[in-house]
Amino acid sequence: MNRRNTVIWCAATCNCFIFFFFSGGWDADGKGPCVWDIFTHQGGERVFKNQTGDVACGSYTLWEEDLKCIKQLGLTHYRFSLSWSRLLPDGTTGFINQKGIDYYNKIIDDLLKNGVTPIVTLYHFDLPQALEDQGGWLSEAIIESFDKYAQFCFSTFGDRVKQWITINEANVLSVMSYDLGMFPPGIPHFGTGGYQAAYNLIKAHARSWHSYDSLFRKEQKGMVSLSLFAVWLEPADPNSVSDQEAAKRAITFHLDLFAKPIFIDGDYPEVVKSQIASMSQKQGYPSSRLPEFTEEEKKMIKGTADFFAVQYYTTRLIKYQENKKGELGILQDVEIEFFPDPSWKNVDWIYVVPWGVRKLLKYIKDTYNNPVIYITENGFPQSDPAPLDDTQRWEYFRQTFQELFKAIQLDKVNLQVYCAWSLLDNFEWNQGYSSRFGLFHVDFEDPARPRVPYTSAKEYAKIIRNNGLEAHL
């Protein structure tokens, strides 16, 4: 069979992996506490078996071992996240931790020496605790703090880093941290906190983009965006008008609430504004629970992304569920219930629905004027203990790659970067170490934290070597 006709990747598509801030060394070498340090140390079973990210996969002291894994795979790009509190222990430039700078300089320099392009995320849920104590993302003061942090990073690392993500999964952070309270600080604000956080996150991203654009872009010639999490949402009954409308409304709240202001016109989608305003009125609020952008803010927000970064794992079915009791909450505002098809295979919350990613990419293309798209996360977990021969995970990847091929070749989606989650097994938020996403197995019981490749790592390395995967349309 002629590989030219069956290769999944076009030549411009990049292959890369992710490393994120749970690199261990939680208090080493001058690092300040972040919200996840405090949250996990408080116990209370908010994290699986009260596990912490104090050591995690040990990357802070084992970077050379990580680099061996990267070279073994033959990666062209590598995405990792900076720890705000490792660089600026109290979140401000009043005290700069040189050892944190040295650590990230070594990672960046080692990657470049080995022909690997770094993609760097400024913020991955790990707010310095000192800033959370001042209100965190519920306070507008965070906007200036984030902008100063971003400028510090652009100035310190931007001579070598040309691809930046400002905020990882801002739409997840706003809901999980400040509406549901499942992420730190762990205090729910149903129906209000998520919207206030979203308002500040969008403005913080936009401010930092403008800082790069005006102060650094001309000399550094880089690109800046934020990443958004997206589950594809399909009507439970395709023949039901109410389910169809509910699914459209759900994707609008889920993705477009952040993407439309940044990529289109600086403001929230109309259905988001009208739905929340209507619910707020029924609940007796004097005005909408969704903070409004001023006209000046809309102009500042519009167009503040150089590519569309999205993170896809799975799909859900959506059914209309009227909020008859006027309950507070984002799901209640959207008036939906969501669930998987019982026929879909799964591990934990991720159901294997490969066609969902193609539909999502087509939606982004059609809605946002065919932008350059980076998939900055995609992956499938194994439950602990995890077999090294991870055939179910590799099948997830193989089917996903086939759908990406269709999206590129048939739908003409401008997908240029793909990042799998993740290089190593690591601390997975509330799930602790019970859910393993790594392409390399990490033994968390061994102080040496040995890295051993899963089958999926070996297969992924073949894709990179061959610049493609055989796929049948």
Question: Which amino acid does the sequence have at 315?
Answer: T
Q: Which of 65, 234, 335, 377 is catalytic?
A: 377
- Mean pLDDT, range 303-330, rounded to an integer: 97
Question: What percentage of the chain has pLDDT greater than the value 90?
Answer: 90
Q: Which of 169, 234, 428, 459 is catalytic?
A: 169
Class of domain 8-267+293-378+387-419+455-466: alpha beta
Residues 235-281: pLDDT tens digits? 999 999 999 999 999 999 999 999 999 999 999 999 999 999 999 99
Domain map (residue ranges) of the chain: 8-267+293-378+387-419+455-466
Task: Tell me how far apart the alpha carbons of residues 77 and 115 are, in angstroms, rounded to a whole number.
Answer: 8
Per-residue model confidence (pLDDT) at position 7: 35
> Apex CA 387: angle with CA 384 and CA 393, to 5°?
90
pLDDT at 358 over 60: yes
Q: What is the pTM of this model?
A: 0.95
Per-residue model confidence (pLDDT) at position 68: 97
Using the structure block, give the residue that is written with the tokens 């439970």: 236
Tokens of 6: 């069956």
Collapsing DSSP states into helix, strand and coil, what is residue 34?
strand
Query: What secondary structure does DSSP assign to 63-80, as a single string?
Result: HHHHHHHHHHHT-SEEEE
Strand partners, 308: 373
pLDDT at 5 over 70: no
Decide if 200 contacts 228 (C-beta within 8 A).
no
Decide if 200 contacts 138 (C-beta within 8 A).
yes
pLDDT at 20 over 60: no
pLDDT at 3 over 60: no
The highest-confidence range among 360-364, 419-423, 465-469, by mean pLDDT, is 360-364
Residues 200-223: pLDDT tens digits? 999 999 999 999 999 999 999 999
Comparing C-alpha atoms, which of 132, 200, 214 is closest to residue 167? 200
Residues 48-77: pLDDT tens digits? 999 999 999 999 999 999 999 999 999 999
C-alpha torsion sign, points 432, 434, 436, 437 = negative
Residues 440-457: pLDDT tens digits? 999 999 999 999 999 999
Per-residue model confidence (pLDDT) at position 10: 36
Per-residue model confidence (pLDDT) at position 18: 54
Residues 332-347: pLDDT tens digits? 999 999 999 999 999 9
Residue 169 annotated to the active site:
yes
